[in-house]
Amino acid sequence: MGEGNLSFRRLTSIRHRKKRTAAKDEAESSLISSSPPPTPITPAAVVGKGKKKAIGARLWMRFDRTGAMEVVECDKSTIIKRASVPARDLRILGPVFSHSSNILAREKAIVVNLEVIKLIVTAEEVLLLDPLRPEVLPFVERLKQQFPQSTDASENVVQSSVLDHEAGEGLQCELPFEFQVLEIALETVCSFLDTSVDALETEAWPVLDELTKNVSTENLEYVRSLKSNLTRLLARVQKVRDEIEHLLDDNEDMADLYLTRKWIQQNQQSEAELGETASNLLSRVTSNRSSSMVTSSTKDDDVEDLEMLLEAYFMQLEGMRNRILTVREYIDDTEDYVNIQLDNQRNEMIQLQLTLTIASFAITANTLLVSLFGMNIPCPLYKMDDVFGYFLSSVIAVCLVIFMLTLGYAWWKKLLGS
């Protein structure tokens, strides 16, 4: 019921924003379609026959909004100049911070480090690190599906305008390029984490059930390994969740992620500074004012779109976290049950040991009595006939009486079970 209301509100807000932002969409489409495609990356060194790999060069994939892609090896300086990001941001994408999760907004780019997805997003293209890794290939396939390659720019504009006028298509056609890439990255990471959580649950339940039936060293080792995997997986999910929560708590950070708006404003300013005719300049300034008014009026809506996007994946990550915590609670309950079983067995062993100690005490008293008669002390009993049987019976009776009295005292003090 909550998901249906959320979808209805999203579609309603989309329809209202379509009417308010018609001028802005037309301006964005004209600017994006008229702007030339991004130039290919010129790598610092190309790996081939007779050429050595540049020091610090890593494999990158460039993917732009038209679907064009290329895979090259570039060093840090090339990426810094291409994406206009500081050098310290590339350290976040390095192996030192491989287990961290960050979504950083810069002036012209977004630096994303989520699990295995490490990329830099601009308003025109995506720079993906290590695109040939098996874990990253699903993300590359989703990019190809979302942005199919096409050589006809006018065909892309017509298709985008047709999609914009479909009211029931949802939020995907309304999102800017960088938000669509961010959504694909979050979807890939959440799918990867969800698969890991499913595998953890599939492995956990049989092992824990077996431990409750048979407390052995092998089963305890399985549970220890399972608990270690659970702790690592919980930390990974928690990092991604906390990063999204940090963005949701700060509207300014979410507004800084809107690269397309800043890119359009820069293009409008650069065109206004060109030496054009007075009439064109006047019409351009008028268009700038109207578009800036539309941009300022729709800024909250754009943040709302991003907020709705992040909230969807935040709830998904929250569900994964709750599932992991459920498994951990079940592990803790199983450990408590096993400890109770072990304590019960330990108590039974202590009771058995106490019973044997009481029996040993009774036998020791008998041994003391027999030892006294084995010292060849003069005694009238030695001269009596058939006295051995009566004496032996008396000693056994004394032993039993001592054992029963001591055992009864232990029961009276509740040292033994009933």
pLDDT digits (tens, 9 = 90+) for 229-275: 999 999 999 999 999 999 999 888 888 888 887 777 767 666 666 65
Tell how far CA 237 is from the center of its chain.
2
Determine the CATH number of domain 57-146+175-261+304-341. Answer: 1.20.58.340
Mean pLDDT along residues 55-81: 87
Residue 173 vs residue 98, higher pLDDT: 98
Q: Which helix (H) or strand (E) holds 269?
A: helix 259-272
Q: Is 73 helix (H, G, I), strand (E, B) or coil?
A: strand
Contact indicator for 15, 174 with CB cutoff of 8 Å: no
pLDDT at residue 297, as a whole number = 43
Q: How many Å apart are CA 276 and CA 287, to the nearest integer?
A: 15
Q: How far is CA 167 from CA 20, 65, 227, 310, 412, in A?
A: 14, 23, 48, 22, 83
Contact indicator for 76, 56 with CB cutoff of 8 Å: yes
In this predicted structure, the answer to whether residue 227 has a pLDDT above a threshold of 90 is yes
What pTM did the predictor assign? 0.70
Tokens encoding 388 = 């051995």
Contact indicator for 196, 323 with CB cutoff of 8 Å: no
Mean pLDDT along residues 106-120: 90
- Strands 117-121 vs 125-129: parallel, antiparallel or unpaired: antiparallel
pLDDT at residue 61, as a whole number = 92
Indicate the Cα dihedral angle 300, 19, 313, 238, nearest 10°.
-10
Tokens encoding 345 = 């067995």
Q: How confident is the model at residue 384 (pLDDT cuts 50, 70, 90)?
A: confident
Q: How many Å apart are CA 106 and CA 122, to the nearest integer?
A: 9
The helices-and-strands tally (H runs, E runs) of the chain is 13, 6
Q: How many Å apart are CA 395 and CA 285, to the nearest integer?
A: 121
Contact indicator for 127, 62 with CB cutoff of 8 Å: yes
Q: Which helix (H) or strand (E) holds 387?
A: helix 387-412
In this predicted structure, the answer to whether residue 46 has a pLDDT above a threshold of 60 is no
In this predicted structure, the answer to whether residue 154 has a pLDDT above a threshold of 80 is no
Mean pLDDT along residues 181-210: 93
369 Cβ contact partners less than 8 Å away, ≥ 6 residues apart: 395, 398
Contact indicator for 225, 203 with CB cutoff of 8 Å: no
Q: How many Å apart are CA 233 and CA 175, to the nearest integer?
A: 31
State the chain's maximal CA–CA distance in angstroms.
149
- Strands 58-64 vs 69-74: parallel, antiparallel or unpaired: antiparallel
Q: Is 129 helix (H, G, I), strand (E, B) or coil?
A: strand
Average the pLDDT over each of 56-60, 133-137, 165-169 and give the range with the smallest value. 165-169
pLDDT at residue 140, as a whole number = 92
Average pLDDT, the chain: 77
Q: Is 74 helix (H, G, I), strand (E, B) or coil?
A: strand
Domains of the chain, residue spans: 57-146+175-261+304-341, 342-413
